[in-house]
A and B are shown apart, each in its own frame.
Chain A
Amino acid sequence: MGSTLAGEGSATPLTPNKSPLRFGRAVSGLRIRPRIGDPLFKWATGFFAVLIAGLAVLIMVEMAINSKLPIAKFGFGFLTRSVWDPVAEQFGALPFVYGTAVSAVIALLISVPISLGVAIFLVEKAPRRLSNPIMFIVQLLAAIPSVVFGLWAIFVLAPMLRNHLYPALQSSLGFLPLFRGNQNGLGLLTAGLILSIMVLPIITAVTTDVLRAVPGTQREAALALGSTKWEATLIVLQNARSGISGAIILGLGRAIGETMAVTMVIGNRPQISASLFDPSFTIASAIANEFTEASGDIYLQSLIELGLILFFVTFIINMLARLLVWSVTRGEGRGAHV
């Protein structure tokens, strides 16, 4: 691609070459070569951008094609059936949907207040000297692999819960069906608790971004009217509420898609049980646990259909979250951590 001054000097949008006075040509007298470099460059890079984007579509199509059998056999009933019997080839997603939803809700109930607290502390209270290192530590928490959280949960968290928290919960709140039954430490509640630590960084990071995007004048106005710092913060929270909802929904998306740590502590049993101590299954953990052992096409394809459901749910959740976060931070020119 020899580019000479004369040949491609005018290949820029800044210098429209309508002018009869074409400098390079006049000086060097070279023949103008067709400018194929730029279109080629655009198409080549465009190919890769489209390739990445196309993968998102391809994943959906490929999974839909590969779950034909259960879709044909069970239809939409797949979502509401609660049997999961590989021997009789009867499959339904309800136990997994239930496990996914409940573990994610537990995770959010715990992590949302703490994440908001951390974000408020970082943006409204702490000096930069303190908030930068804390933010970095929160980022490191997000960098720890899922399987490591799982390992820690099996050998540290689960025994602690089994020996201390769960007996205490049963003796104090045992009149509720939620906190009854066997407590081997592996179950829905344990999965929700480890998830709450894992989604804390993402909710904190996005909430921090959102709070930073709220103009300082709002705080100043509130303070000038005589409110305390906390009351000013409440006003900031009020104005950032759609962005904060976005952060929470983003955390929900992470919790729903999280696989390894949950698989390792949820107990892996496809059942809907009133007790949070009982073993359960999420969509992601069912795929992780049963996929390589699945025998028979319809069994395997039912697992792929579970994946398709998971894909759609996370797709909708992430889209909603991005819209909400973007509605607050768009003026900032920075992307949300999606």
Chain B
Amino acid sequence: MSNLARRKLINNAMTALTGLCALFAVASLFFILGYIFWGGVRGLSLGFLINSPKPIGEPDSGIANAIVGSVILITLGSLIGMPVGILGGIYLSEFGSNKFGLLLRFLIDTLTGTPSIIIGVFVWTVMVHPMGHFSALSGGVALGIMMMPIVARTTEEMIRLVPHSLREAGLALGAPRWRVTLGVVLRTAASGVATGAMLAIARIAGETAPLLFTALGLNYLSTNLLQPMASLTFQIYYYAQSPYEEWHDMAWAATLVLVTMILVLNIVVKILTRNRHQQA
């Protein structure tokens, strides 16, 4: 075989090989999603969504406690994580172009990269241990801490995208800097900040590890923030580890609910951001 033919052959082989890799990545998502769908759709019913768990063998068992618990925990986490994250992100973008800003960014990125189980242990040591019992509140704090660095960094990036001329126009009208930042810059970046926040919610909605030692889990419906609380992710973990076939089916159905929620959030964000790019 001539040298050129050999080189061309290698070229085509590598194109095919990288294409196969991409096919593998795409296929593995659909493979997993397929199992979740077929595994979960059997156990899914209205009763499953609106009933609380019942003892093994009784019909009409459900995961209402976990759905309500997840919504409460995620709301708590967002209430704690979002304001802090957005305000921190504003500081980074407006006043953070110096050494101090670099240090802050470095530490914030460190927090992003910290394994979620460690956040759980940390909240256990500062909240659960002193209070003496597991609580939904501490779970919310753990999720909030996970959200803060993500929201801060996306807010910063979104604000940096706002054209400088807008800022200057505001200042030229005589408005003080804080009004320009909040009323013009942040408002212009609002949709970007909102999509960033949605992604952060999608991220914490799937977290289990920070809840293991904070919110723990609970087998009945509760809205008491000072008591343990159920969550979809914990319930899936708990059911999957159990020896009961019936609970395995419930774990699959709960997974279908959770994954649908998270994928919908991600797809909505994708659609929103695509429209923005088209307008720009």
Contact = CB atoms under 8 A, between A and B. Distances in A.
Interface string B80-117: 00011101111110111000000110111111111111
Given A45-B88, A137-B26, A231 B7 contact: yes
A156 B240 CA distance: 12
B15 interface: yes
A51 B88 contact: yes
Given A63-B118, A145-B262, A228 B11 contact: yes
Interface in A164-190: none
Given A49-B92, A148-B255, A292-B212, A125 B19 contact: yes
Nearest to B95: A42
A228 B22 contact: no
Contacts of B71: none
Nearest to A260: B208
Contact of A140 (B94, B95, B266): B266
B213 to A, nearest CB: 6
B19 A121 contact: yes
B196 interface: no
Nearest to A308: B118
B171 A52 contact: no
A139 B202 CA distance: 12
Interface residues of B, number: 95
A229 B11 contact: yes
Nearest to B18: A121
Contacts of B171: 12, 14-15
Nearest to B270: A136
Interface stretch (A75-83, A87-95, A270-278, A314-322): A314-322
Interface stretch (B44-52, B56-64, B177-185, B219-227): B177-185
B122 A63 contact: yes
Interface string A1-30: 101010011011011000000001000000
Interface centre among B116, B205, B209, B251 (most CB of A within 10 A): B209
Interface in B188-219: 202-203, 205-209, 212-213, 216
Nearest to A317: B113
Given A59-B119, A144-B262, A147-B237, A41 B112 contact: no
Interface string B114-129: 1111110110111000
A151 B121 contact: no
Nearest to A321: B113
A90 to B, nearest CB: 22
Given A49-B96, A144-B259, A338-B112, A138 B145 contact: no
B117 A257 contact: yes
A115 B236 CA distance: 29
Interface in A229-287: 229-231, 233, 253, 256-260, 264, 284, 287
B128 to A, nearest CB: 10
A121 B117 contact: no
A46 B91 contact: yes
19 contacts: A3-B179, A9-B174, A37-B178, A45-B91, A48-B84, A51-B84, A53-B104, A63-B125, A120-B18, A137-B25, A145-B233, A146-B206, A147-B237, A148-B236, A233-B14, A257-B114, A259-B117, A284-B117, A318-B110
Interface of A: 1, 3, 5, 8-9, 11-12, 14-15, 24, 35, 37-38, 40-42, 44-46, 48-59, 62-63, 66, 113-118, 120-122, 124-126, 134, 136-141, 143-152, 154-156, 197, 200-201, 204, 228-231, 233, 253, 256-260, 264, 284, 287-288, 291-292, 303-304, 307, 310-311, 314-315, 318-319, 322, 335, 338
